[in-house]
Structure formats: structure tokens, C-alpha cells
């Protein structure tokens, strides 16, 4: 291959942008040897006009707005690592319209505008790389897309948010509460100053939506709303009961597809301690992908952080250098019926009730009235607080509507049930 030069505009100069600059500078000779290419960041766009991350040896131009470089025909590739949705979408559109390949780490933007951007890229014969948008350094976009072009994917289940996995892991191993877990995650630099999107499941669900596009061809636009439940409903006492029942609690994003029915949800779930995903601890991410032909495949690694994310961005850049430009527009299958109500699993219910005779009989009668069946019950007098005792009930499989009817019937009895915590039990092999 003849020697070539790829000129890059980098939008965003924070930690990830800095790591991109650093790797391209420090490893320049190696990359040149591997890809017969000089990768040159000639322009950086950053609102503040300053590089926050890697500053050494950068002698390109710094701009404060993208418009000032959009007509620069010497740029081959735009890399977007600035975050946010609206401005990032504008940069993506302008980059593609001005005939530049585009690489992004932005799952929020791709989960809303992916369909449109893939079409735009296809029409202009350009490439969109988004390896860094899901699970940081794990090469899940290329792995899942190459699998999905060979076999039908039955389902995936991912731990896609490092912050919430870190917090739940610490709650489990050290017996701390959610607040302390968030504090530790912030001190270690995993959680943002405002960790809302990590804690409420939005970040994980956006990533799940991107994976579902590759796995099943579901839409990447605003027509698919995120179905989320955050980890903030889990309390330390739930880990004690989960352990006794043989489970860990993990933040899961699941997708499954059968005929035209799609299930796409994110929630904290009990998963069997013998399962592979239950061993994924701290800030690590993992995705289990199941196909009928090749069974279960596990992808594991660091889900966030500047260097792992930059490494995934460079993998897209090197695909461009080798002209290995996947047309992601081909994955879209259009409209699909979202059937989240039909999602069926066993259930963990923790009810805090007054410690008085006949309570258990009453609870059982509610459950029987809804035609649901109990698998096991744990009642612990020694966990009682302020006259309330926790009762944990494991229900046999039921779907989301059946569960909701049961929870509604409980909530009409405010004197009896002081608190109701519901967690799904995820067991894909059942
Ligand atoms: N905040 C995310 C996480 C990383 O904790 O996994 C960026 O998507």
C-alpha cells in the first residue's frame, strides 16, 4: 500500500480528546508502520480555546467553533468527543455533508440520530465509526456487527454502565449504602459530578439501544423510548437476601428479538452467582451475546476511561485508513413492535410490613388472587426496624403486566405494606 496521510479535526479536547492526541503522538511511528499512514490531528475544536488533556507536542490549530473549519477541504476525518446531543448532532451532519468521514464516542446522540446519520453517510459514500460509544474499550460494535451479518442474534445482556456496576459491587462487597457508593465512584473519577444519567439507567439504556440496532435492526431515532429503571431502588439489605437466594445484583441492559417482537430494557437485576455476568465487578463492563448457531459469547473489558475510549476511536480511524468502511445503514430493519410488556421472568419482592399475625396469609391471598405463584419466602425477624419486618418473596415467572397488577393491588393496602421493592430475576436460560 502506498504511504498516505489522514488529516483529522478533533472536536472536544477533554480527557478522551487528550488521550486520542497522546496515543496518536506517542505511537505515531508504530501506527505508520502498521497502516502505512501518517495520522495528523491538524485542527482541534474546543469551546474554551484550550487543550485540557494532552498538550505536549500539539502544533496544529485550535478553534472555538466547528463552523470555522467545516469548509476546510484538507480534513479527511472528524472525531467528535465533546458529548452532549444537539451540538454533536450538528457537527456530525456538517461533517458528513462536507464529505468527511465521522467518528464519535457519543451514544446519546447516536441513539437518537443514528438512522438519519447512517443514511447520510451512505448517500455520500462515507463512514461513521462509533466503536467508542458503547462499553469504552471493548470492541463490541465490530464484534456484534460482524456476528449479526453472519447469524441471527437471539438476545444480548450487557453490563454497560461502569459507574453503576462499581456502586452495586461495592454495596455488595463492603455492605455500604448507595450514597457512599456514589461518593467512592466520584472520588475515583468513575462517576460524573452529576451522576444522574448513570444512576437512573439512561446511559446504559442508550447503549443498549445502539446494540439493538446492530443485533436486530431496531430504530435509532426518537420513536423508541428508553425503558429504564435505575439502580437507586436497590438498598444494601437486598444484597443480603440476594446472597441467601444465590444471586448477585447487576445493572443490566437486555435486548431480545423474536419474529417482529422486540424487548429492550435496562434495570437492576438479580442474576445467579454461577452465571458469567455475575462475576463482572467494579467498573468493568461485559456483554453476553447469544445466537442459536454459536451459543453464548462473552465480551469483557473496561467500559469507560480516556485511554480505553481513545483506543476504540483509533480502531475506527484505522478502519478508515484500510478502507474497511462498514455501511451501517444496511443494519436497519425499520419498525418493530416493542413488546416490553411481554417480558417474563421470576421476581424478587421485598415487602416491609407490620409485624402482626395474619400478615403472611394476607400477602399470599393477594398473590393468589392475581393467579401468580410463589417459589420461596424469606422472613427475618432480626432485620426488623421500627416495628416493620422485611419479607422477601420470590415469584415464579410472570410478565410485566401481571406484575404491575399485583403491585397495584398491594399499593391499595397502604396500612399493610410500608414499602415494596421489586427486582427482576434474570435467567436467560429458563
Ligand atoms: N458514565 C459511563 C459509565 C461511561 O460509567 O459507564 C461513559 O459512557
Question: Are residues 160 and 237 both part of a single domain?
Answer: yes
Least Cα distance to 185 among 162, 159, 160 occurs for 162
Q: Which domain holds residue 77?
A: 4-105
Residue 132 included in any domain: no
Question: Burial of 78 by CB count in 10 Å (0-12 exposed, 13-18 middle, 19+ buried)?
Answer: buried
Question: Are residues 277 and 158 both part of a single domain?
Answer: yes
- Name the residue of 161, 169, 207 whose CB sits within 8 Å of the most ligand 1 atoms, as the mutation to test its pocket: 161
Q: What is the distance in angstroms between the CA of the first residue and the CA of the last residue of the chain? A: 51
Ligand 1 center from residue 283 Cα (angstroms): 9
Residue of minimum CA distance from atom 7 in ligand 1: 304
Report residue 141 as a C-alpha cell. Answer: 460494535
> On the CB side of 21, how many CA atoms lie within 13 Å of its CA?
27
| Cα–Cα dist 262/213, whole Å | 11
Question: Are residues 144 and 293 both part of a single domain?
Answer: yes
| Cα–Cα dist 270/289, whole Å | 18
Question: Are residues 93 and 159 both part of a single domain?
Answer: no
Question: Are residues 193 and 284 both part of a single domain?
Answer: yes
Task: Give the single-character DSSP code of 283.
Answer: T
Residue 242 included in any domain: yes
At residue 61, the pLDDT reads 94
Residue of minimum CA distance from atom 2 in ligand 1: 161
Ligand 1 center from residue 213 Cα (angstroms): 20
- Name the residue of 81, 197, 198 whose CB sits within 8 Å of the most ligand 1 atoms, as the mutation to test its pocket: 198
Q: Is 207 a catalytic residue?
A: yes
Ligand 1 center from residue 322 Cα (angstroms): 29
Ligand 1 center from residue 166 Cα (angstroms): 11
Question: Are residues 269 and 352 both part of a single domain?
Answer: no
Kindly give the number of the ligand 1 atom that is closest to the alpha carbon of 161.
6
Question: Are residues 297 and 348 both part of a single domain?
Answer: no
- Tell which of 287, 319, 340 closes a domain: 340
Question: Are residues 92 and 156 both part of a single domain?
Answer: no
Residue 323 included in any domain: no
Among the listed residues 147, 170, 207, 250, the single catalytic one is 207
Question: Are residues 159 and 223 both part of a single domain?
Answer: yes
Question: Are residues 274 and 388 both part of a single domain?
Answer: no
Task: Give the single-character DSSP code of 238.
Answer: H
Residue 313 included in any domain: no
Number of domains in the chain: 3
CATH number of domain containing 284: 3.30.360.10
Residues in the ligand 1 pocket, defined by CB under 6 Å: 161-163, 190, 198, 203, 303-304
| Cα–Cα dist 268/426, whole Å | 9
Residue 111 included in any domain: no
Residue 326 included in any domain: no
CATH number of domain containing 419: 3.30.70.260
- Tell which of 61, 83, 105 closes a domain: 105
Residue 360 included in any domain: yes
Angle between helices 236-245 and 162-174 (to 10 degrees): 80
Question: Are residues 277 and 178 both part of a single domain?
Answer: yes
Least Cα distance to 254 among 172, 177, 343 occurs for 343
Q: What share of the chain is helix, strand, coil (3-state, %, to 5)?
A: 40, 30, 30
R_g over Cα of the chain: 24
Residue 128 included in any domain: no
pLDDT (tens, 9 = 90+) of the chain, 430 residues, equals: 567 999 999 999 988 999 999 999 999 999 999 999 999 999 999 999 888 777 767 889 999 999 888 889 999 999 999 999 999 999 999 999 999 999 999 999 999 999 999 999 999 999 999 999 999 999 999 999 999 999 999 999 999 999 999 999 999 999 999 999 999 999 988 777 789 999 999 999 999 999 999 999 999 999 999 999 999 999 999 999 999 999 999 999 999 998 878 999 999 999 999 999 999 999 999 999 999 999 999 999 999 889 999 999 999 999 999 999 999 999 999 878 899 999 999 999 999 988 888 888 989 999 999 999 999 999 887 777 777 899 999 999 999 999 999 999 988 887 788 889 999 999 976 5
Any idea of the CA torsion for 60, 64, 70, 71, to the nearest 10 degrees? -70
Amino acid at each position: 500500500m502506498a504511504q498516505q496521510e489522514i488529516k483529522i479535526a478533533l472536536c472536544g479536547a477533554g480527557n478522551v480528546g487528550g488521550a486520542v492526541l497522546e496515543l496518536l503522538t506517542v505511537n505515531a511511528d508504530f501506527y505508520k508502520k502498521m497502516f502505512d499512514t501518517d495520522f495528523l490531528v491538524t485542527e482541534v475544536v474546543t469551546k474554551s480555546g484550550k487543550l485540557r488533556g494532552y498538550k505536549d507536542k500539539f502544533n496544529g490549530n485550535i478553534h472555538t467553533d466547528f463552523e470555522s473549519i467545516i469548509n476546510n477541504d484538507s480534513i479527511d476525518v472528524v472525531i467528535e468527543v465533546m458529548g452532549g446531543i444537539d451540538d454533536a448532532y450538528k457537527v456530525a451532519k456538517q461533517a458528513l455533508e462536507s464529505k468527511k468521514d465521522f467518528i464519535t464516542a457519543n451514544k446519546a446522540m447516536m441513539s437518537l440520530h443514528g438512522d438519519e446519520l447512517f443514511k447520510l453517510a451512505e448517500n455520500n459514500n462515507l463512514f461513521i465509526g462509533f466503536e467508542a460509544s458503547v462499553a469504552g474499550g471493548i470492541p463490541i460494535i465490530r464484534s456484534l456487527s460482524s456476528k449479526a451479518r453472519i447469524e441471527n442474534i437471539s438476545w444480548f445482556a450487557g453490563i454497560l454502565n461502569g459507574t453503576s456496576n462499581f456502586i452495586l459491587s461495592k454495596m455488595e462487597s463492603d455492605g455500604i449504602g448507595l450514597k457512599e457508593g456514589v461518593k467512592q465512584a466520584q472520588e475515583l473519577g468513575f462517576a460524573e459530578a452529576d451522576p444522574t444519567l448513570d444512576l437512573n439507567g439512561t446511559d446504559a439504556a442508550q447503549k443498549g439501544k445502539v446494540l439493538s440496532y446492530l443485533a436486530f435492526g431496531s430504530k435509532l431515532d426518537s420513536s423508541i423510548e428508553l425503558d429504564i429503571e435505575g439502580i437507586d431502588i436497590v438498598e444494601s439489605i437486598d444484597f443480603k437476601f440476594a446472597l441467601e437466594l444465590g444471586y448477585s445484583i447487576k445493572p443490566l441492559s437486555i435486548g431480545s428479538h423474536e419474529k417482529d417482537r422486540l424487548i429492550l430494557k435496562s434495570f437492576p437485576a438479580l442474576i445467579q452467582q454461577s452465571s458469567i455476568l455475575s462475576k463482572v465487578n467494579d467498573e468493568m463492563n461485559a456483554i453476553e451475546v447469544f445466537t442459536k448457531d454459536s451459543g453464548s459469547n462473552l465480551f469483557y473489558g473496561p467500559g469507560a476511561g480516556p485511554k480505553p475510549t481513545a483506543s476504540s476511536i483509533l480502531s475506527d480511524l484505522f478502519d478508515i485508513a484500510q478502507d474497511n468502511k462498514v455501511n451501517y445503514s444496511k443494519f436497519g430493519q425499520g419498525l418493530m413492535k416493542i413488546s416490553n410488556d411481554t417480558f417474563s421472568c421470576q421476581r424478587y419482592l421485598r415487602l416491609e410490613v407490620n409485624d402482626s399475625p395474619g400478615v403472611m396469609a394476607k400477602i399470599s391471598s393477594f398473590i393468589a388472587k392475581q393467579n401468580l405463584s410463589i417459589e420461596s419466602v424469606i422472613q427475618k425477624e432480626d432485620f426488623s426496624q421500627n416495628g416493620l419486618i422485611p419479607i422477601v418473596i420470590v415469584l415464579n415467572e410472570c410478565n410485566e403486566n401481571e406484575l404491575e397488577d399485583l403491585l397495584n393491588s398491594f399499593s391499595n393496602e397502604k396500612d399493610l405494606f410500608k414499602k415494596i421493592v421489586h427486582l427482576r430475576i434474570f435467567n436467560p436460560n429458563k
